Amino acid sequence: EISAPWTFHNLQELRHSASLANKVFLQRDYSDGTTCRFQTKFPSELESRIERPLFEDTVKRLNIYYAEAEKMGGQSYLEGCLACATAYLIFLCMETRYEKVLKKIGRYIQEQNEKIYAPRGLLITDPIERGMRVVSLQLLLLLCVCVCERETDKEKHKDR
């Protein structure tokens, strides 16, 4: 590995400096209805970049999270009935279960990017930013960002 003087400071910077990026899109899988699921088919463009089991694992995990968010069980019915009883005003003050799971998904994707995908020159975009239509993977080509001046930012990011 080349020990270049430049390091990644955060993935946001990485995203900004990814100039010539090709994108691969994973479309939705509607075989189960309108619930949110993504196709686990391994795209051919990623063959040289990442191992298939890792990729499939990530997508399956995402599907599990989305299924959990949309699950209709006791808790969601309780939430729905309570909301109806309060004329849905409760949505103004309470965070719904869906939103909680979405945050969990955001953290999961961030973690996957840092651990697995960025070292391989890939970047997964959270589907919520694309209207839950696609999971987009950015193939990164440019690796360098800037130095030292951002060390403090890196510390802040770690603390977050």
Partner 1 sequence: MKHCEYQQIDPQALSTPTPTLPPQHAVVQEEKKGETARRKWEVFPGKNRFYCDGRIIVAQQSGVLPLTLGLILVTTVLFFVFDCPFLLKHLTVFIPAIGGVLFVFVVISLLQTSFTDPGILPRATPDEAADIEKQIDNSGSSTYRPPPRTKEVMINQQVVKLKYCFTCKMFRPPRTSHCSLCDNCVERFDHHCPWVGNCVGKRNYRFFYTFIVSLSFLTVFIFGCVATHLALRAQGGRGLMFALQESPASAVELVICFFSVWSILGLSGFHTYLVASNLTTNEDIKGSWSGKSGTEDTGNPYSYNNIITNCCSVLCGPMPPSLIDRRGFMPVEESSQTVATEVELAAKNEINVCQLVLCLSVFVCMAHHHPPLGGQLSGLCSVLCWLMSKCTQGTKDLLESASRSPCPQAGKPQTVSTSCPDSIDPADPAVTFNPDVTSDPVAVPSLKCGGRHHSHTTSPPDEPRQLHHHHNRHHKTRSARSSSKRAALHISNPAYNVSLSPPTSPGLGPSHGTGAEEHVRDSFATLH
Q: Which residues bind partner 1 (CB under 8 A)?
A: 2-5, 15-16, 19-20, 22-23, 25, 28, 30-34, 69-72, 76-77, 79-81, 83-84, 87-89, 91, 96-99, 102, 121, 128-134, 136, 141-144, 146-150
Distance in Å, CB of 105 to partner 1, minimum: 11
Q: Quick one: CA dihedral 146, 149, 151, 155, positive or negative?
A: negative
Distance in Å, CB of 115 to partner 1, minimum: 21
Distance in Å, CB of 117 to partner 1, minimum: 16
Q: Which of 18, 10, 6 is nearest to 148 (CA)?
A: 6
Tokens representing 89 are 């005003």
CA dihedral 50, 54, 56, 60 (to 10 degrees): -140
What are phi and psi for residue 120, nearest 5 degrees?
-100, 10
Give Cβ neighbours of residue 20 (< 8 Å, ≥ 6 apart).
Answer: 141, 142
Distance in Å, CB of 55 to partner 1, minimum: 18
Answer for the pair 8, 145: CB distance below 8 angstroms, yes or no.
Answer: yes
Distance in Å, CB of 58 to partner 1, minimum: 20
For residues 57 and 136, which CB has a smaller minimum distance to partner 1 in the complex? Answer: 136
Tokens representing 123 are 């970047």
For residues 29 and 57, which CB has a smaller minimum distance to partner 1 in the complex? Answer: 29
List 25's β-bridge partners, or say none: 136
